[in-house]
Structure 1
């Protein structure tokens, strides 16, 4: 990796939690230079503007989360175990998620709708990837005849994301993990009552 690539990656890795905690619009160039200990010239030598850096930082955060989720899924064998790994992932990693400002997809989605519209497509693509990951687990369960053949896997995957993100939002707002547990309990109920083959 070239020195310029190393510098670019260092800036992204250093500013990703900064953007996630303080927001994409509220994070200033002064915040970025203070966090990285680099000059404005070094920042703008690697990124055209703050928006380009913010998008790269979001993509990095989303990829880190997605990679960790996929590792949890791939650590188990059966479709049911994989689905359970998805359900418990955010609760198991809640302390780390909270420390870095919450779910980067949720945070960016809220901001992309208001102050950082340039992020909208990248955020949408990240949610689509997450939904597709869950849907592929559900499809495998249907194929294995573990899950109901009548299951709408894409719609169910989207529902999982909605419930998980709702749990993350309330857990962060109220500073209480009980809302994540409520989300998990609801998803476990859906698995037992709607997903598993009768």
Structure 2
């Protein structure tokens, strides 16, 4: 990787942590300059404005979390274990989140529900992708005989993602991982009771 590309990557990576922790509105160009150690001219050599940095920073943050989800999924054999692994990735969200500041999709969606339309659109696409992954796992479980076939993958994927994201928010808000751990335990019981074939 050439020096210019390395500089660009450094701006994206360090800005991603800033944006995911403080939000788009809470990060100034001066803070990006301070964090990266790159002067304004150097920043503008690679990006035309703060928006462009924020959009690429969001993509970077999501890619880091996605790679951790993928690694967790790859270690699990059953569809049930694969669903629970989403919660395992965030089991220590307070002290050691998969990305600095917590869930990029959640943070971006909450901040930009009435704000930055391009960032909000990116968060919606992330949700769509996550829902598709969960639905695929549910369908695999149905096809291999692990899950009941009368379950609805669409509504179940919404339930599972809402449970995950809600418990992330509560744990971050309260500074206590117990919320996500309790939710994971209840989701696990729900899946065993209502989805797993007896």
TM-score category by the smaller chain? over 0.9
| Equivalence map 1:168-187=2 (5 Å) | 168-187=168-187
Q: Which runs of 4+ in 1 moved over 3 A?
A: none
Matches within 5 A, 1:5-84: 5-84=5-84
Q: Per-residue deviation at 1:164? A: 0.7
Question: 1:110 and 2:110 equivalent?
Answer: yes
Aligned with 1:146: secondary structure?
A: coil
Gaps of 5+ in 1: none
CA distance in 2, matches of 1:170, 1:160: 15
Tell me whether 1:4 sits opposite 2:17 in the alignment: no
Q: What is the CA distance between 1:84 and its match in structure 2?
A: 2.5
Report the counterpart of residue 129 of structure 1 in structure 2: 129
- How far apart, CA to CA, are the structure 1 residues paired with 2:50 and 2:146? 48
Q: Superposition pairs for residues 152-167 of structure 1, below 5 Å?
A: 152-167=152-167
Deviation of 1:182 after TM superposition, in Å, equals 2.1
* CA distance in 2 between partners of 1:56 and 1:99 (Å): 15
| Post-superposition offset of 1:92 | 4.8
Shift of 1:116: 2.2
Q: Which residue does the alignment assign to 1:139?
A: 139
Question: What is the RMSD computed on CA atoms of the aligned residues?
Answer: 1.6
TM-score (norm 2): 0.93
> Normalised by the size of structure 1, how large is the TM-score?
0.93
Count the aligned residue pairs: 198
Structure showing the higher helix proportion among its residues: 1
State the Cα distance separating 1:193 from its structure 2 match.
Answer: 1.9
Work out the CA distance in 2 between the residues paired with 1:92 and 1:176: 9
